[in-house]
Homo-oligomer: A and B are copies of this chain.
C-alpha cells in the first residue's frame, strides 16, 4: 500500500535562538522580533498558504543547565532566554488561519490541571479544534526551582507526575460533560441539561479537583496529544498517551527500528499501531543545483555559533561543558550518563575520536537534508518508507527557512504524492486520524460517561 502524504509542521520557539544558535545575527532572519505578535501571525499565514499542517512551539520554563558555571553565557547568546509563553499567542494565530494546527509545549509543573484544562479547551473552541499539546515533563532543574521545588524530580518520578496530571485532565475534558449537555434553547430557556454535567471529585497524590469542568466540550475535547520522550519510560508514556511522537533519529533506518519498536509498545497498551504518528525533526538546505546547496550549507556551518551549540548540548544533559575547548576529544569528557549514546559518532568521524565540536556539528548535520528539491524529495521518500508520518521542520531563520521550503520543496513533494494537495476539512485530529475525538482505545476514553453516577446536584 502506498504511504499517505507526509505531514509537515514548523518547529519553532517563542525566542530568538531555539536550536541553530547564532543565526539570529543573520540579516535575513527575523526571529529577533519574537516579542512581536506580527512575526508569528505572519508566519502562520505563510505556513497555511504553503500547505503546512501545523506550527509547533517548543518551550522551556527555566534556563538551561550551567555553562561555564552559570547561565550568563546562555543570556549572551540568547539561548532560549528570553523566551515567551507559546500558549497565549495561539488565539491570535487561530484568528488569522483556518486549517493550520496549533501545537504548543507545556508540562505539569506549570499550572494546576483545572486552569490548564480550561485554557486549552478555550483555545480548542477558539480555533475550531486545531489545538495540539506537546506534553513534556520539564527536564531543566531551574524550571522546577521556578515552581516551588528544591530540584528536578527524578526522571521516572517526572513521568509519574505527568501520568497523574493527565488523569485529571482526561476527567475534565472527556468525562465532566456529556456530549449533548449544551442545549442553548432560546425557546425553552434551557441553556444546558444539568443532568449531563458532572462533578469529577478527583483525589490523587498531588491533585484534588471537584469539578464540574467550566468549559463545554470543545471540538476535539482533549487536544491532539504530542510527546517527545526518547527514554524507555518516555516511549512507554508516549505509547500509552500520545497520538503523535516527535522523534530525532540520526537516519531513516534508525527511525524505522525506533518506530517499529514503539508501535509494538502502542499495541501492547491495547491501541492500534497507527494510533501513534511519528514526526521526525529535520532541517533543510535547498539549492537549485547540488553545488549551490552544498555552498549554502557551508555558509550555514560558518554562521552557526559552536559555543552556543555546545552550551545547549551540555545544558540539556545537565553537564557543564564550558571547561572544554571545542577541539577536546570526547574521550576526555566524563558525563554522568556515560558515552553509550555516542557510538554512532565514531562511525561518523571515520573512526577518529570525535571532538566536542564534531559532536554538536553532527547533531545538526545528521538531521539536515541538503540538496535540490528533487534530492530532498528522494530523501523524504526514504523517511516515509521507514514509517515516518510527518516532518517537524527545523529552521535556521524565520520566516526564511519556511518560505524557501514552501516555494521550492513542497511543490515537488506534492507532485510525487509526498505532500498533501489540499487540506481535509475539520479539526486537527480529523485531518490526521479521520475523527474529531480521541479513539475509544485511548486511556482517556474510559472517563466518557464515568461520572454519570455522581449524585445529581440541585
Chain A residues packing against B (C-beta within 8 Å): 14, 16-17, 22, 24-25, 27, 32, 35-38, 41, 60-63, 66-78, 81-85, 87-92, 94-96, 109-112, 114-115, 118-119, 121-123, 125-127, 142, 145-149, 177, 182, 184, 186, 189-195, 197, 207-212, 214-216, 218, 305, 322, 456-458
* Given A76-B190, A92-B126; 7 other pairs, CB 8 A cutoff: A35-B218, A68-B458, A70-B457, A82-B215, A85-B118, A89-B122, A111-B115
The answer to whether A194 and B114 have CB atoms under 8 Å apart is no
Q: CA separation between A359 and B197, bound complex, in Å?
A: 30
Report the minimum CB–CB distance from A386 to chain B (whole Å): 37
Complex Cα gap A146–B111 (Å): 13
Contact A214 B82 (CB under 8 A): yes
- The contact sample of 22 A-B pairs, CB cut-off 8 A, is A25-B189, A36-B126, A37-B126, A41-B95, A61-B114, A63-B214, A66-B457, A71-B457, A74-B458, A75-B194, A75-B197, A83-B215, A84-B125, A85-B115, A88-B90, A88-B91, A92-B92, A109-B112, A111-B111, A112-B148, A145-B210, A148-B208
Are A17 and B119 closer than 8 Å at their CB atoms? no
CB-CB under 8 A for A191 and B61, given A89-B91, A456-B70, A457-B72: no
Q: What 10 pairs across the A-B complex have the smallest Cβ distances?
A: A70-B458, A70-B457, A78-B191, A72-B458, A72-B194, A145-B210, A91-B92, A84-B122, A37-B126, A82-B216
Closest chain B CB from A193 CB (angstroms): 8
When distances are taken between beta carbons in the complex, the residues of chain B under 8 Å from A142 are 210
Alpha-carbon gap, A277 to B88, bound state (A):
28
How far apart are the CA atoms of A125 and B182 in the complex, in Å? 36
Once the chains bind, are A146 and B88 in contact (CB under 8 Å)? no
In the complex, which residues of chain B have a beta carbon less than 8 angstroms from the beta carbon of A112?
109-111, 147-148
- Could you tell me the distance between the alpha carbons of A456 and B119 in the complex, rounded to whole angstroms? 36
The oligomer's copy count stands at 2
Q: Return chain B residues, CB-CB under 8 Å to A207.
A: 148
Contacts of A126 in B (CB 8 A): 35-37, 88-89, 92
State in angstroms the CA–CA spacing of A207 and B147 once bound together: 8
Contact call B186/A71, Cβ cutoff below 8 A? no
Question: In chain B, what residue has the closest Cβ to A115?
Answer: B110
Establish whether residues A37 and B127, one from each chain, have CB atoms under 8 Å apart when the complex forms: yes
Chain B nearest CB, measured from A187 CB (Å): 8
Interface centre among A14, A76, A214 (most CB of B within 10 A): A214
**Chain B residues with CB under 8 A of A177:** 82
Contacts of A121 in B (CB 8 A): 84-85
In chain B, what residue has the closest Cβ to A15? B214
> Given A41-B95, A69-B457, A70-B456: A77 and B209 within 8 A (CB)?
no
Q: Point out the residues of chain B lying under 8 angstroms from A125, CB to CB.
A: 35-37, 84
Known contacts A72-B456, A114-B147, A305-B189: does B88 contact A182 (CB below 8 Å)?
A: no
Contacts of A456 in B (CB 8 A): 70, 72
Residues A458 and B66 in contact, CB atoms below 8 Å apart: yes
Closest chain B residue to A307 by CB distance? Answer: B189
A410 → chain B, closest Cβ, in Å? 26
Asked if A24 contacts B148 (CB within 8 A), the reply is no
- Rounded to whole Å, the gap between the CB of A218 and the closest CB of chain B is 8
The residue on B at minimum CB distance from A217 is B82
Docked-complex contact B61 and A214, CB < 8 angstroms: yes
Chain B residues closer than 8 Å to A90, beta-carbon distance: 88, 91
CB pair A76 B191 closer than 8 Å: yes
Measured CB to CB, the nearest residue on chain B to A68 is B458
| Complex interface: chain B residues within 8 A of A68 (CB) | 458
